[in-house]
Amino acid sequence: MCSHSLKIKESIDQLMLLLYPKINEQFKLIDSCYVLGITNRDKEHYTFISLLNDMQTEFSSLYTYESRLVFPSILNIIDNCIIELQNYHPNITDLLYLTKKKEQKLYQLAIELASELNKYHFEEINQQIKILISIFQNEFVESKQHWNVLMQNCLDNCSNFNFNKLSEIKT
C-alpha cells in the first residue's frame, strides 16, 4: 500500500459522501424552484437554462464516471487487488486526464452561469443558483485540486501505480 493511500481514500470519501451529495441536493433545490418559475420553453432565458442543464448533465457524467470507474480502479490499485484482475490495468493517467477535462468544463460552465445570472429575474432560483456557483467555484475547485495533486504524487512516487512494475511482478 502506498504512503498516500489513506489520504486518497479520505479524499474519495470527502467527494462521494459530502461534496457530490451536496451538489446533487443543490441541483434538486434548483429543479424544484424551476418548476415554480419557468419552463424550458421560456425563450427569454434560453441561454441561462441551457447552461444550467449542461452543468447538471456534465456533473452527472463526472459523478458516474468517477463512481463507477475512476475511484474503484484507484481503490483496487491501492488495495493491491489489481494484481488479481488478470489483464486489466487501467491507465490512471488517461482516467485522470478525462476527469480533469470534465472538471474544467464544469468550472467554465459555472463562470458562464454566473455571468448570465444577472439577466435572470426569479429571486428564489437566483439564490439557489448563486449557492450552486459558489459550491463549484470554491469547494469543488479546492477538493478537485487537492485530489489531482494527491493523484499526481501517487503517479510520480508510488510503485502501485506503475503498471510496468505490476506486469513484471505478475510474470
The 10s digit of each residue's pLDDT in 20-38 is 999 999 999 888 766 545 5
Stated as kind and residue range, the H or E segment containing 37 is: helix 20-37
CA nearest neighbour of 20 among 51, 53, 50, 61: 61
On the question of pLDDT at 98 being above 60, the answer is: yes
Looking at residue 78, its pLDDT comes to 82
Looking at residue 168, its pLDDT comes to 39
Q: Give the global pTM.
A: 0.82
Mean residue pLDDT of the chain comes to 82
What is the band of 72 on the pLDDT scale with cuts at 50, 70, 90? Answer: very high
On the question of pLDDT at 122 being above 70, the answer is: no
List Cβ<8 Å contacts ≥24 apart for 55-58: 55/106, 55/109, 55/110, 55/113, 55/132, 55/136, 56/27, 58/102, 58/105, 58/106, 58/109
Q: How far apart are CA 166 and CA 160, in angstroms?
A: 7
Looking at residue 121, its pLDDT comes to 65
Kindly state the average pLDDT of the residues 108-133. 83
